[in-house]
């Protein structure tokens, strides 16, 4: 009798479940082929994380990361490739990202192709390409100064090192190479006015070339010698505020250079360290940045000053300066270690830092210096260079 009652109760329960399932509507049939898009201007807290894929360089990529979110599914907004130690720059005014990369027809062998790939920022689609002179473009650790926009973002200047040094000029409207500017003995491209470019020279000077509307050369001038590339080298990566490039030096000083639009004028250098801090010096890969408040940031190493071979090691703190006052306004102690940094735009800057001990990235508040979060597991392996969204 008891068994019969249980059996009836079980049947009743199953019946109720079945009824409930019949009442709940099934999932709607979904369309296929949906592709997400991104906003026309990426929000201030988005960063472009360049993973150079050091162990398999043909697979370099840039991940678009929303650092306000707390799960990987929300943080990763998209990705585009930058093959074989490529370089890239975002042109917000054009809604485009320019990536210089290299391919071989058989992977690591075969015919070589150097190409400027143009991505649109909304779809992250390759919308155009410009074939570049083969075997010339700079190929190495990611650099922010290997590409430079000019002439109202209508031209792109591309640094070449083969190892002779030149600049390839690309007309972004025509999607065509305009020509090549020789910069013998000098390297990289620093914006100098809208029609000028400067380059850092092995002999301790800066070259400035100003171009005409047709891309031909209007003027060429060398600065005075202001550093010794053997004895007192500066890093090639400046923080830039109000047309002054602040080059950190191996010896813990900073060398400002005024970009006048027609020349590069070295100014008086000053130490980043204070009394009792003489062992500190900048160190790392992407070692500096600037914010919209006019402050400059340097990744600092407590043991690097005067120690040969320590300049790429990274550091344990970020120091923030008011460059006009030559005054440090903030120290940001890192959770573990830093290799590269980038600063977001806006009045409330955030600092994203590569932590090389586990190759994650960490977010810090640029106003208070407080640690906000660690971001990892987004497919990164070697995020060597970071850029804030423009």
Partner 1 sequence: MMSFIDRLLEQRARSAAQQAPRRGMLKALGGVLVGASTLPLLPVARAAGPDVASRPQETGSDTDCDYWRYCAIDGFLCSCCGGSANSCPPGTEMSPVTWIGTCHNPADGRNYVISYNDCCGKPGCGACLCQRDEGDRPPYRPDKTNDINWCLGTSSAAYHCSAAVVVGVAFEE
Tell me, letter by letter, the H, E, C secondary structure of 303-362: CCCCCCCCCCCCEEEEEEEECCCCEEEEEEEEEEEECEEEECCCCCCEEEEEECCCCEEE
What is the nearest approach in angstroms of partner 1 to the Cβ of residue 83? 10
What is the CB neighbour count within 10 angstroms for residue 81?
Answer: 16
CA distance 224 to 218: 20
Query: Cβ closer to partner 1: 137 or 350?
Result: 137
Query: Cβ closer to partner 1: 146 or 178?
Result: 146
What is the nearest approach in angstroms of partner 1 to the Cβ of residue 198? 12
Query: Cβ closer to partner 1: 187 or 208?
Result: 187
Per-residue DSSP letter, 297: E
- Taking Cα atoms as reference points, which of 182, 80, 78 lies closest to residue 127? 80
What is the nearest approach in angstroms of partner 1 to the Cβ of residue 140? 3
Strands of 206-211's sheet, edge to edge? Answer: 186-192, 196-201, 206-211, 217-222
Q: What are phi and psi of 55, to 5 degrees?
A: -85, -10
Query: Cβ closer to partner 1: 33 or 163?
Result: 163
CA distance 389 to 178: 28
Burial pattern 118-130, b for ≥16 Cβ within 10 A else e, equals bbbbeebeeeeeb
263, containing H or E segment: none
SS3 74: helix
CA distance 273 to 132: 43
What is the nearest approach in angstroms of partner 1 to the Cβ of residue 111? 9
The answer to whether the CB of 171 falls within 8 A of the CB of 187 is no
Any idea of the CA torsion for 357, 362, 366, 369, to the nearest 10 degrees?
-60
Query: Cβ closer to partner 1: 31 or 55?
Result: 55
Q: Which two tokens stand for residue 371?
A: 């640690």
Geometric angle at alpha carbon 161, from 255 and 211, rounded to 5°: 70
What is the nearest approach in angstroms of partner 1 to the Cβ of residue 173? 29
Query: Cβ closer to partner 1: 58 or 151?
Result: 58
User: Where on the chain is the footprint of partner 1 (CB under 8 A)?
Assistant: 54-58, 84-85, 102, 104, 107-110, 112, 135, 138-141, 143, 161-163, 165, 186-188, 200-202, 229-230, 233-236, 285, 303, 308-314, 337, 339, 356-357, 382, 384
What is the nearest approach in angstroms of partner 1 to the Cβ of residue 29? 44
Length of the chain: 390
Query: Cβ closer to partner 1: 36 or 230?
Result: 230
Give residue for tokens 């804030």. Answer: 388
Query: Cβ closer to partner 1: 75 or 354?
Result: 354
What is the nearest approach in angstroms of partner 1 to the Cβ of residue 287? 11
Query: Cβ closer to partner 1: 42 or 247?
Result: 247
What is the nearest approach in angstroms of partner 1 to the Cβ of residue 131? 15
Query: Cβ closer to partner 1: 357 or 368?
Result: 357
What is the nearest approach in angstroms of partner 1 to the Cβ of residue 166? 13
CA distance 227 to 278: 20
What is the nearest approach in angstroms of partner 1 to the Cβ of residue 187? 4
What is the nearest approach in angstroms of partner 1 to the Cβ of residue 382? 8
Q: Which two tokens stand for residue 318?
A: 């970020």
SS3 371: strand
Query: Cβ closer to partner 1: 99 or 330?
Result: 99
């Amino acid at each position: 009798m008891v068994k019969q009652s249980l059996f009836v109760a079980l049947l009743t329960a199953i019946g109720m479940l079945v009824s409930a399932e019949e009442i709940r509507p099934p999932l709607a049939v979904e369309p296929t082929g949906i592709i997400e898009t991104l906003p026309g201007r990426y929000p201030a807290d988005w960063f472009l994380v360049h993973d150079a894929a050091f162990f398999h360089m043909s697979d370099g990529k840039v991940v678009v990361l929303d650092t306000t979110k707390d799960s990987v599914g929300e943080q990763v907004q998209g990705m585009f490739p930058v093959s074989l130690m490529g370089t890239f720059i975002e042109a917000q005014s054009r809604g485009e990202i320019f990536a210089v990369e290299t391919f071989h027809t058989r992977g690591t062998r075969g015919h070589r192709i150097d190409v400027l790939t143009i991505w649109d920022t909304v779809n992250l689609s390759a919308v155009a390409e410009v074939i570049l002179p083969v075997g010339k473009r700079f190929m190495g650790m990611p650099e922010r100064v290997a590409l430079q926009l000019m002439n109202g973002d209508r031209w792109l200047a591309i640094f070449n090192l083969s190892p002779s040094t030149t600049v390839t000029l690309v007309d972004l409207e025509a999607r065509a190479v305009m020509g090549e500017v020789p910069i013998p003995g000098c390297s990289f491209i620093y914006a100098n006015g809208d029609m000028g470019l400067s380059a850092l020279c092995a002999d301790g000077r800066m070259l400035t070339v100003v171009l005409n509307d047709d891309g031909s050369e209007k003027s060429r001038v060398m600065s005075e010698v202001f550093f010794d590339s053997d004895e007192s080298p500066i890093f090639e990566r400046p923080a830039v505020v109000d047309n002054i490039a602040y080059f950190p030096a191996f010896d813990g000083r900073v060398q400002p250079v005024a970009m006048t639009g027609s020349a590069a004028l070295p100014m008086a250098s000053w130490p980043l360290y204070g009394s009792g801090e003489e062992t500190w010096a900048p160190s790392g890969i992407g070692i500096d940045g600037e914010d919209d408040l006019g402050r400059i940031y340097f990744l600092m190493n407590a043991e690097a000053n005067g120690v040969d071979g320590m300049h790429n090691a990274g550091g344990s703190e970020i120091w923030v300066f008011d460059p006009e006052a030559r005054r440090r306004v903030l120290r940001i102690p890192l959770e573990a270690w830093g290799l590269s940094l980038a600063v977001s735009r806006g009045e409330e800057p955030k600092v994203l830092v590569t932590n090389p001990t586990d190759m994650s990235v960490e977010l810090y508040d640029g106003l208070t210096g407080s640690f906000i979060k660690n971001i990892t597991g987004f497919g990164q392996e070697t995020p060597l260079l970071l850029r804030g969204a423009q």
